[in-house]
Amino acid sequence: MTHQDPTRLSADDWDELNFPRPEEQDFDRVVERALSRRGFLGRVLAFGSGAAAMGSGLTGGLLGSTSAAAQQASRFAFTPIPIATDGTVHVPEGYDWQVLVRWGDPLFSDAAGDFDTTPGGSTAMSDRIFGENTDGMEFFTVGSRQVIAVNHEYTNRKVNLPAEQEGVPASAADVLKLQNLQGVTVMEVREGDQGWEVVVDSPLNRRITHNTPMEIRGPAAGHDLLKTAADPTGTRSLGTMNNCGAGKTPWGTYLTCEENFNGYFGSTEEIQDQKPNALVEGYARYGIGPKGWGYDYHKWDARFDTDKNPNEPHRVGYVVEIDPAAPDSTPVKHTALGRIKHENAEVALAPDGRVVVYMGDDERGEYLYKWVSRDIYVPGGDTSTLLEEGTLYAAKFNDDLSGQWLALTPETTGMDAAHIAIFTRMAASAVGATTMDRPEWVATSPVAAEAYCCLTNNKNRGLKPNAGGDDTAPNGPNPREANRYGQIVRWRPAGDDHAAEAFTWDLYVMAGNPGVHAGTPYAGSANINPGNLFNSPDGMAIDSSGLVWIQTDGNDGNDGDFAGMGNNQMLAGDPVSGEIHRFLTGPNGSEITGLCWSADLRTMFVGIQHPDAPFPDGEGKLPRSSIVAIKRADNAMIG
């Protein structure tokens, strides 16, 4: 999320407000930084010329062996569109969009008519409607039914509590409403004569909120750090929170990823400043502070009061598995996949059938991870160990375009398995993984053994260490100091095996602005031009043909460094030529996030999160986060 309204600060800016990172004031460090800046410029140019020898500009480093199938993806089926600065959605000529569902739309008929487009809806019905701030989503076929599971990342208090001053919760009912508007929706959808719609009252419809019972599994389950007065076993928690990106397993379950969970916690104890409670291990690294981010749960719901329940934050920050075919099933928190600010969980299968899950930790200077299962996936077989028994790794990128996945084990980290699962950031620091520019979504290609990760931006790169004190000098895949534009790193695993520990990498694109920063690395890579300017790549998915769909969550001020970029957008990239074309623009203030396709690939579902404009209902109405369904007018496949 990125906002300019001070009551709607971005997650990272909230973190920085609560936990200002130490400035690098030591004189030697300043000199080193000044020197490294010179080196940095030279290194970027060296990368560019090195890559040019293999392909085209900064793109192409891995392309010599890209499969023939991937090369067929180099044709775009649409005419790129210009930027937009208005209040609605635009797609190319020959394509149409419609709203599938908006915040407040009923999932069950008892909630029909509850939501009003000016004051919103009631607390009583707040877990019977489609929640707020749609994010990652996946499409499932369950028997003859079509189902979308989708995240509701956070709430905009001023929009969701319009009756309260500045949207500050004034009662336990206000807090319950916010809790109910977040989490996950599972909903049946169908396409009829009027287009796509939610099947109200489907037996598969389900809301999962901040209060839904969860089972905790993996190495941290039952550990003392996870025990609370309400759950002395440390194996049962309530709710999944700040659900950002998502994933889908080969066995048909949905993975929802807990990102900025820290913001929900606060302390009612009188505290004079914003320093975290240093007595609680991990609070500072994970940004858990006494004031929270303004949700004010802790003032009305003691579970979120860290003075009373200091272990509750240890029970969030995981990947959670949900079975969309079993509406009464208990979601499972998989601690083996680590506790970080999880962005998404991109699942791939190794050639031998082991399950690989790529995961980013979206915080400045944190790390990129992957999980490799011990056992193999067998269709129809037992899948119960696949997200519990295995190895977690953090990525190390070398400047020579090689890289290694560093195993996080008791031997390599000096931490036991439970501590690795709960304090994963410290484990990755211990092995010397590469600090990244806020890893967002990872996507793997279905037509080539390649993976991509959006590194959205990092204004602290080269200027401040991460919260663990790890150095963040510019490095190979994060080469620009004070990186405000973002880039996409791509890697190819050794032997075309996603379970391999070695890989090679390149930069697929460095976003930038050649009109403002010509001749510097901030102009962006060779595949950036005046027709496709964007900043802050975030959501990403690769379609069945290999095209890379890129969604943005950035500065939409359209001036200064960001002139010519317009509102947030979705673009498509050719993995071979590096060409990138703009496909969709969103309404003012919105982030484009969440992408999946219908089973027949004739519809693409795209999420429009936190519009400022009164989208989609028009002037005088509340802005409503929405999923739009996009089709070609000729009903041809679009993915």
Binding residues vs ligand FEO (CB under 6 A): 153, 244, 259, 343, 362, 440, 538
Q: Which is closer to ligand FEO, CB of 263 or CB of 313?
A: 263
Q: Which is closer to ligand FEO, CB of 263 or CB of 623?
A: 263
- Euclidean distance between CA atoms 556 and 590, whole angstroms: 9
For Ca ion, the binding residue among 363, 553, 556, 612 (CB under 5 A) is 553
Build a one-symbol-per-residue string for 502-541: x at contacts with Ca ion by CB under 5 A, - elsewhere: ------------------------------------x---
**Residue 226 near residue 311, CB atoms below 8 Å:** yes
Q: Which of 63-71, 383-391, 464-472, 549-557 is the region at the interface with Ca ion (rule: CB under 5 A)?
A: 549-557
- Shortest reach from residue 343's CB to ligand FEO, in Å: 5
| Strands 368-376 and 487-493, sheet pairing | unpaired
**Residue 346 near residue 452, CB atoms below 8 Å:** no
**Residue 44 near residue 496, CB atoms below 8 Å:** no
Q: Which of 249-257, 263-271, 389-397, 551-559 is the region at the interface with Ca ion (rule: CB under 5 A)?
A: 551-559
**Residue 637 near residue 602, CB atoms below 8 Å:** yes
Length of the chain: 639
- Shortest reach from residue 233's CB to ligand FEO, in Å: 30
- Binding partner of 388, given Ca ion, ligand FEO, none, CB within 5-8 angstroms per partner class: none
Q: Which is closer to ligand FEO, CB of 134 or CB of 603?
A: 134
- Euclidean distance between CA atoms 396 and 161, whole angstroms: 44
- Shortest reach from residue 244's CB to ligand FEO, in Å: 3
Q: Which is closer to ligand FEO, CB of 295 or CB of 377?
A: 295
- How many other CB atoms are found less than 10 A from the CB of residue 581? 17
- Binding partner of 258, given Ca ion, ligand FEO, none, CB within 5-8 angstroms per partner class: none
- Binding partner of 153, given Ca ion, ligand FEO, none, CB within 5-8 angstroms per partner class: ligand FEO
- Shortest reach from residue 31's CB to Ca ion, in Å: 33
Instruction: Check residue 388 for interaction with Ca ion (CB under 5 A).
Output: no
Closest CA to 101 of 487, 636, 639, 628: 628
Q: Which is closer to ligand FEO, CB of 362 or CB of 612?
A: 362
- Binding partner of 301, given Ca ion, ligand FEO, none, CB within 5-8 angstroms per partner class: none
- Euclidean distance between CA atoms 586 and 596, whole angstroms: 17
* Residue in the block written with tokens 């009829």: 192
Q: Which is closer to ligand FEO, CB of 333 or CB of 342?
A: 342
288, two tokens: 């858990």
DSSP letter assigned to residue 498: T
- Binding partner of 12, given Ca ion, ligand FEO, none, CB within 5-8 angstroms per partner class: none
- Shortest reach from residue 540's CB to ligand FEO, in Å: 12
Q: Which is closer to Ca ion, CB of 134 or CB of 545?
A: 134
| Strands 332-334 and 213-217, sheet pairing | parallel
Q: Which is closer to ligand FEO, CB of 131 or CB of 310?
A: 131
- Shortest reach from residue 537's CB to Ca ion, in Å: 9
- Shortest reach from residue 580's CB to Ca ion, in Å: 19
Closest CA to 540 of 426, 453, 413: 453
- Euclidean distance between CA atoms 346 and 368, whole angstroms: 12
600, two tokens: 């027949």
Say which residues have a Cβ less than 8 Å from residue 548's Cβ, sequence separation at least 6: 443, 445, 452, 488, 508, 540, 542, 572, 573, 574, 575
- Euclidean distance between CA atoms 204 and 325, whole angstroms: 7
Among residue numbers 323 through 342, which ones bind Ca ion (CB under 5 A)? none
**Cα 493 to chain centroid, rounded:** 22
- Shortest reach from residue 451's CB to Ca ion, in Å: 17
Q: Which is closer to ligand FEO, CB of 66 or CB of 536?
A: 536
- Shortest reach from residue 563's CB to ligand FEO, in Å: 25
User: Which whole-number Å values give the CA distances from 483 to 99, 201, 515, 571, in the listed order?
Assistant: 35, 47, 17, 20
Q: Which is closer to ligand FEO, CB of 24 or CB of 362?
A: 362
Q: Which is closer to Ca ion, CB of 255 or CB of 500?
A: 255
Q: Which is closer to ligand FEO, CB of 429 or CB of 552?
A: 552
- Binding partner of 543, given ligand FEO, Ca ion, none, CB within 5-8 angstroms per partner class: none
Beta bridge partners of 631: 96, 603
- Binding partner of 259, given Ca ion, ligand FEO, none, CB within 5-8 angstroms per partner class: ligand FEO
Beta strands in 386-449 (DSSP E): 390-397, 402-407, 439-444
- Euclidean distance between CA atoms 475 and 458, whole angstroms: 13
Q: Which residue is nearest to Ca ion (CB)?
A: 553
Q: Which is closer to ligand FEO, CB of 228 or CB of 535?
A: 535
- Shortest reach from residue 610's CB to ligand FEO, in Å: 11
- Shortest reach from residue 365's CB to ligand FEO, in Å: 14
- Euclidean distance between CA atoms 387 and 356, whole angstroms: 9
- Euclidean distance between CA atoms 321 and 617, whole angstroms: 34
- Shortest reach from residue 3's CB to Ca ion, in Å: 11
Mind spelling out the 3-state secondary structure of 562-595? HCCCCCCEEEEECCCCCCEEEEEECCCCCEEEEE
- Shortest reach from residue 152's CB to ligand FEO, in Å: 11
- Binding partner of 312, given Ca ion, ligand FEO, none, CB within 5-8 angstroms per partner class: none
- Euclidean distance between CA atoms 463 and 561, whole angstroms: 19
CA-based end-to-end distance of the chain: 26
Contacting positions for Ca ion (CB under 5 A): 538, 553
